[in-house]
Structure 1
């Protein structure tokens, strides 16, 4: 009977191979590459994972429980440690920071992937010629379309459809409407608070490859609000400590590890973006920004922003100064930063992040740095785990640890594989029960050696 089951499973379109493991009394299956592929289009198992997030956000936008108005829908924005909504002022600061990244290089045409309820478009549309937003959540798309914002067009589309004909046709139509028939590519492509819903690194890479291909020369791709794999253990311990005050150290370690292993969202080491930039066919420069928000929340501590700049002239020489070499106390060093703009381009490195390394005597917060730096400077990551910061012109961010992929092994976690190991056995068990109903299906497990396209 096992042979009949194996033969039947091998004919399933999602299965590349099936074998009997007698030591575990388990059928071990290897998924078909086409079922988990990203390109040329998502395979059915990957598509199901993407559909899960689509349904989540359709529910969130339909409920609209934290909707303050057309330009401030904060539905779904709740703190992980308390479950309470993030303070409105904190979220407005978060939005303003994202808008600053988008508008830094004064784009004319902006394309946003995952525009949601329009938190960004309402604040950037007056400063650009045209804006195209993409989102998979039908309620969000319908709501933005109904507002009929001048110069704004919204499509229902997924991130992997960024380079599809409907998107490029819309860009061309918008260019014609603004009497710029030769500008059919965006100056800035934005993915803000989107990557956490991606299934794996392969999908992330495919989407960003499309964005880097599509953006205009000299343009930017802003990948904002990424959850950080490099400091994810810190996050898990912080969250468990907040939810269970006084928890014993050993139990805290165990629960934090379990939480991290079970995380359903994609977490990315900042250096994965450097790898994507370096392997791309175009000349791509990458900078990783800290969140310079005033409040101490998970958004400030454990998230960061990435800006790719494509086919732009090299920034020229830049001197490097260590934070520890600046004279005086931390407060005096902050005052010193304002005078650095009179010197040649300078990057101040090795600044302890007080939110994550509070015991360092010369530590400061990203917000303190943001309030002290001269115009044109930014608060950047000097280490992948954000324990060290840097400040300076972001175009000189190359060479720091946060954008070096040397020796990097785990660049992202893999929520899709965890989903696959649960979902595929469910589907195949149902399949056997339908095709061989007289015999209970044995346990089915997914092979440790997955077939990658």
Structure 2
């Protein structure tokens, strides 16, 4: 019997391989299926594994990033005039050079404006860093608490705060991990901020614990703002663009292989927007989830691939955007002048869907994402500026349909601060919602290790030809593994290849 013939596996054979995988150290969940080889028509055995993340890996990951920031700030001297614009470490992934200072200042201004728009009085910032938000925000608050896991960061920031009489009496700084609630008063803060920090978390479970703690620290009607979140749904586009920028002459197979390696070794956390809607749905105290694209006119990785989330705690009364009339870009309307004519018809607001994101359309096309180049692309910032000229507020969010698309809700500019239903998630049961940075070192070696161990235990025809690592297993409505939703080998993001 040939090897190809042996791979016409029975369900019992797949189950035997699954059982053997689940006995292996480092495996949390497993599924085994047969797939047709697209080039030769043979049947191949493919195993899908969700790695287990031991507590030691979580601690090691947090410690790695703490060491980075301790080293970065240990020997720096605080400025004599208080907190300054310190953008140390903000380098472009495309060029490896510092992001231009005007772009960084615009980024910081947008983040400050987003927090100020919530009218905070008692603020807790988790991951306060060099005080880029604390500096412009704290002087307008009653209290501003900041925590950070780096002693060097807190010592430096404390020395700077002490030189500013506007801040010294209202700022409290503590060195503690993001998931520690030690000495933080419960039910006290109206705003908790995690800005440009969750990418350093070890996994989504850690973030869930941090958000649960933040919810307990909030007073009724308060909110958690999570800023600068890296989008898991566009990670492949981002890494492909980075590779093209640094090695422009590589052929497509080499690019795909390099991107696959980069994803396995990624040390920063990427999150699908659906993570936040799913997290909130499981917590009755959260009454609204507001997910928006990062604001800004510059076209860089911060505006292309990052977003911000506001989670509102009850009893806030949100304005729901879920049932607004829908207009499709490129089908119902083809230009902004036609959209302007429709504003009088939809006075209460409307949703513009399937808008190719001008910031992302080139990167999406490089990855073969379907449907991103058939309509005229729009820039979210330009669309927001257009809305302001027409007396409307434009709220831009991701589209769950394609990484290169976004949606825009156009509403009256009436000062509303609490929206719900802006982002419309897809079926998150079959969508990988995050990577697992804490497992990146172990995971890069896990497929080969598992195949070696299985070869020593099972007949050759039950050893999988390939082991694919997933952040989580796709689930059917009943909770069992949705085998039809398992991605094709070579793609771990759940998309159908374009």
What residue number does 2:67 align with?
55
8 A Cα contact 1:50 1:199, kept in partner: yes
After TM superposition, give the deviation of residue 209 of structure 1 in Å.
1.4
What residue number does 1:392 align with?
410
Equivalent in 77, 88, 91 of residue 90 of structure 2: 77
Q: 1:404 to 1:320 in 2, by over 3 A?
A: same
Equivalent in 193, 196, 215 of residue 193 of structure 1: 196
Whole-angstrom distance in 2 between the partners of 1:65 and 1:243: 34
What residue number does 1:124 align with?
137
Q: Determine helix, strand or coil for the equivalent of 2:145.
A: strand
Whole-angstrom distance in 2 between the partners of 1:351 and 1:319: 17
Q: Determine helix, strand or coil for the equivalent of 2:439.
A: helix
Cα offsets for 1:321-341 (capped at 9, x unmatched) = 32428986534257569x569
Cα offsets for 1:29-80 (capped at 9, x unmatched) = 5699xxx999xxx944422221111011112223659999823110110001
After TM superposition, give the deviation of residue 132 of structure 1 in Å.
0.4
Equivalent in 438, 450, 466 of residue 416 of structure 1: 438
What residue number does 2:241 align with?
238
8 A Cα contact 1:321 1:346, kept in partner: yes
Whole-angstrom distance in 2 between the partners of 1:315 and 1:277: 16
Whole-angstrom distance in 2 between the partners of 1:237 and 1:71: 35
What residue number does 1:348 align with?
352
8 A Cα contact 1:37 1:46, kept in partner: no
Whole-angstrom distance in 2 between the partners of 1:255 and 1:154: 42
Whole-angstrom distance in 2 between the partners of 1:31 and 1:346: 46
8 A Cα contact 1:65 1:75, kept in partner: no
Whole-angstrom distance in 2 between the partners of 1:223 and 1:378: 17
In the alignment, structure 1 segments of 5+ residues that lack a partner are 1-22, 172-183, 425-447
What residue number does 1:428 align with?
none
How many residues align structurally? Answer: 378
After TM superposition, give the deviation of residue 345 of structure 1 in Å.
3.6
What residue number does 1:89 align with?
102
Cα offsets for 1:342-372 (capped at 9, x unmatched) = 8114333332211122534321112212212
Q: Is residue 270 of structure 2 the alignment partner of residue 267 of structure 1?
A: yes
What residue number does 2:399 align with?
382
Whole-angstrom distance in 2 between the partners of 1:212 and 1:76: 30
After TM superposition, give the deviation of residue 286 of structure 1 in Å.
0.9
8 A Cα contact 1:110 1:190, kept in partner: yes
Q: 1:128 to 1:258 in 2, by over 3 A?
A: same
8 A Cα contact 1:350 1:382, kept in partner: yes
What is the root-mean-square deviation in Å for CA atoms of aligned residues? 3.6
What residue number does 1:407 align with?
429
What residue number does 1:362 align with?
376
Q: 1:386 to 1:216 in 2, by over 3 A?
A: farther
8 A Cα contact 1:200 1:266, kept in partner: yes
After TM superposition, give the deviation of residue 194 of structure 1 in Å.
0.9
Alignment of 1:315-354 (within 5 A): 315=319, 319-324=324-329, 330-332=335-337, 343-354=347-358
What residue number does 1:276 align with?
279
Cα offsets for 1:286-324 (capped at 9, x unmatched) = 121112221211111111111111112142575223242
What residue number does 2:124 align with?
111
Cα offsets for 1:171-217 (capped at 9, x unmatched) = 8xxxxxxxxxxxx6111111111111111111111111111232222
Q: 1:323 to 1:423 in 2, by over 3 A?
A: closer
Q: Determine helix, strand or coil for the equivalent of 2:361.
A: coil
What residue number does 1:249 align with?
252
Normalising to structure 2: TM-score of the pair?
Answer: 0.68
Whole-angstrom distance in 2 between the partners of 1:355 and 1:44: 39
8 A Cα contact 1:322 1:349, kept in partner: yes
Whole-angstrom distance in 2 between the partners of 1:331 and 1:65: 51
What residue number does 1:158 align with?
177
Q: 1:352 to 1:411 in 2, by over 3 A?
A: same
8 A Cα contact 2:232 2:434, kept in partner: yes
After TM superposition, give the deviation of residue 144 of structure 1 in Å.
1.8
Q: Determine helix, strand or coil for the equivalent of 1:118.
A: coil
- Where has structure 1 moved over 6 Å in runs of 4 or more? 65-69, 325-328
